[in-house]
Each structure stands twice: as C-alpha cells, then as structure tokens.
Amino acid sequence: MAIQPLSRRSVLGGAALAAVAGVVGYVVASNSSAADAKTTGTAANGYAPAPSKGRRLLALSQIPRGGGTIMRHDLIVVIRDSNGSSAHAFSATCTHQGCVVGSVSGGTIDCPCHGSQFDATTGDVVTGPATSPLPKIPVTVQNGVVYTA
C-alpha cells in the first residue's frame, strides 16, 4: 500500500480547524469558573477565591471550640475561638501551590501537600514552604450562625 502525499487543501483545512479549535478552547476556558477563582483571589499568587457577601456558612455549634472546620466546597476554613462565642475565617487554599488545607489542630491550619502550617488565629505562616499568609475572609456570627460579612 503506497502512502499518498497530503494535498495542499488537506493541510490548509487541518490548520484552519486547529486554529478555530484553539480560539474556541481559549474562550470557553477564560469564561469558566476555574478561571474566575484564580483571578478574583486575594492572595499574591492568585489562589484564594472570596465567597459572595452575606452568605450563610454554618452554625457556630458545628465548629469545635478552639478548632476549625474546613468547608472544601467554599474553600473556606472557619475557626471558632476558645470561649466559643465568635469565629473568624481564612481562605482554605494554601498560598504555596494552591492545595486545599487538610486539617486544623493544635492552633495551626495544616496543608497536606507540602507541610505548610498557618497560625489558626492570624493566618500567618508558621512552617513553610508557604511564604504568604492565608487571606482573611470577613465573617460575622448572628444568632449562632456564621455568615460571610
């Protein structure tokens, strides 16, 4: 079986199809929610999507006193103070390489990917490789429920 050379029409048609597919892919990707999450973030590296304002997060009673709850869907870690009456929150996206933090224990928010630890009170880096703190997310507590501010 002999291989026939490509015609000029086939080569130009293939190139045009590739160009159109590239433009369509770019438009779809740039309008996706994943693109929005990285461009609207507050961290220096673009990771830290901020939630919409005034949204109910969870009941204060769902957060252990002096501990925290990671809301993976919202990419928020909510911390409850030791007296149990107030809360504060940070982005749950590690500022090192964008992994979602894995746990809150012993006063730190821990990232399972590379071992970064953040102070659960301030969001500051306790142990690297992360060099930037977790961005703060303003929250309020009303009638025992935590809301974004």
Relative to beta strand 108-110, strand 103-105 is antiparallel
Relative to beta strand 136-137, strand 125-127 is unpaired
Q: Alpha-carbon distance 38 to 22, whole Å?
A: 21
Taking the model in full, what pTM does it have?
Answer: 0.62
Which tokens sit at 104? 């809150």
Tell me which of 13 and 56 has the higher pLDDT.
56
Same domain, 103 and 62: yes
CATH number where 122 lies = 2.102.10.10
pLDDT, position 41: 41
* pLDDT bracket for residue 51 (50, 70, 90): very low
Residues comprising the chain, all counted? 149
Q: Any idea which residue has 């990771």 for tokens?
A: 47
Q: Domain count of the chain?
A: 2
Q: What is the span of the domain harbouring residue 17? A: 8-39
115 Cβ contact partners less than 8 Å away, ≥ 6 residues apart: 127, 129
pLDDT, position 77: 92
Q: Alpha-carbon distance 47 to 73, whole Å?
A: 15
Same domain, 66 and 131: yes
